[in-house]
Structure 1
Amino acid sequence: MLKGLGQLGDMAKMMKQAQEMQAKVMQLQEDLKTLMVTGESGAGLVKATCTAKGELKGLDIDPSIFVPSEKEVAEDLILAAIKDAQAKAEARSAEEMGKITEELGLPADMKLPF
């Protein structure tokens, strides 16, 4: 297409790659909204589910933790499960972004989107 145009051909190629990268990042941002991860605490007594973007979507709590004298323990377990789910969401998001940067031949530690 732009053979023989030297740097103009390279520039056109770079622009096309940038557009492809932008489209992939935008698609991934949408995908992260539906990708679910689950964190847990208390050996599975409390489970928190959130999107890979970190939005809490659900809690599953074993009724055995609802002992009035153990209120603080239940609160700690719930908080720990939510934090675990959010940490897993962040890791999953970074993993998915890493796949895009690798696919595009960019450095693995490059942060996207810019």
Structure 2
Amino acid sequence: MKNPFAGIGDLGKMMTAAREMQGKVDEFQKTLETLTVVGESGAGLVRVTANAKGELQALDIDPSIFVPSEKQVVEDLILAAIRDAQDKAMARAQAEGQRLAGDMGLPPGMKLPF
């Protein structure tokens, strides 16, 4: 008769590995909150700071562009800087995710569940 509890040791190892992986994913998420990127437009006239999760943290506008007749230009520059910061945040998050996956011994290109 086969022992029904023979694989429990392996199951325990799998559960431990799953908890460790979850801890690393949680740490990764916290890291994304602390990493910052700066998006800009108009040769730096508008700068947006975001964390690697894409959450906007700061906006810096050079005062030289505050001309009432240029309202649309300023709005376009702000949107362009936001998009730039969000694109950089996504790239940074992907790079950090690949680094974490490599650290955990996962195959290249495997995406972690976020």
Q: TM-score range by the shorter chain?
A: 0.7 to 0.9
1:112 aligns with 2:81: no
**Does the alignment pair 1:63 with 2:84?**
no
Which residue is 2:89 aligned to?
A: 89
Gaps of 5+ in 1: none
Post-superposition CA distance 1:3-35 (Å, at most 9, x none)? xx9855444333322221110100111121122
Q: What letter corresponds to residue 12 of structure 1 in structure 2?
A: G
Cα shift at 1:110: 1.8
Unaligned runs of 5+ in 2: none
Question: 1:6 & 1:66 partners in 2: Cα distance?
Answer: 74
Q: Which one-letter code corresponds to 1:45 in the other structure? A: L
Identical aligned pairs, as a percentage?
62
Q: SS of the counterpart of 1:54?
A: coil
Give the partner amino acid of 2:53: K
Aligned residue identity for 1:94: Q
Give the TM-score of the pair, scaled to structure 2: 0.85
Aligned length: 110
Partners of 1:30 and 1:60 lie apart in 2 by 25
- Deviations along 1:14-66, one digit per CA (max 9) or x if unpaired, are 33222211101001111211221111111111100011111111101001111
CA distance in 2, matches of 1:65, 1:107: 49
Task: Tell me the residue number matched to 1:49.
Answer: 49
**1:63-106 deviation per Cα after TM superposition (whole angstroms, max 9, x unaligned):** 11111111111111110001100111111111111111111121
Distance 1:12 1:6 in 2: 11
RMSD after superposition: 1.8
Counterpart Cα distance in 1 of 2:42 and 2:108: 35
